[in-house]
C-alpha cells in the first residue's frame, strides 16, 4: 500500500532530505526541490510498487503527495 511516508522515502532516495512528519501532503513537489527528472524517478518507483502505470497525459496532474495518494488508491 502506498503511504505518504513511502512517497517521502522514495523522494529521499533521489537525494533530497524530507521529513515525512514535517512535509505537508499539499505542498508541491517543485517547492520541495523535486525537479522533473527526480519526479519521473519517483513516479517510476511508485509504478513498480503499485503495478499501475500513469499515462503520459496524467503525469502533469500529479503535483503533490496528496494527488499521488489519491491517484494510486
Q: What is the CATH number of the domain that holds 60?
A: 1.10.1200.10
Tell me what pLDDT residue 32 has.
86
Instruction: Supply the range of the domain harboring residue 8.
Output: 4-71
pLDDT tens digit string along 3-54? 999 998 988 988 888 887 788 899 999 988 889 999 999 999 999 999 999 9
Give pLDDT, residue 54.
Answer: 96
Is the pLDDT reported for residue 67 higher than 80? Answer: yes
Residue 55 CA to residue 37 CA, distance in Å, equals: 17
What is the number of structural domains in the chain?
1
CA distance 17 to 7: 12
Question: Which pLDDT does position 1 carry in this prediction?
Answer: 80
Cell of 35: 525537479
Residue 61, pLDDT score: 94
Amino acid at each position: 500500500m502506498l503511504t505518504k511516508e513511502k512517497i517521502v522515502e522514495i523522494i529521499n532516495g533521489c537525494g533530497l532530505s524530507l521529513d515525512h512528519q514535517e512535509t505537508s501532503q499539499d505542498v508541491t513537489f517543485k517547492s520541495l526541490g523535486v525537479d522533473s527528472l527526480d519526479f519521473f524517478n519517483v513516479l517510476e518507483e511508485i509504478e513498480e510498487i503499485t503495478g499501475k502505470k500513469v499515462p503520459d497525459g496524467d503525469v502533469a496532474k500529479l503535483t503533490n503527495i496528496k494527488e499521488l495518494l489519491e491517484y494510486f488508491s
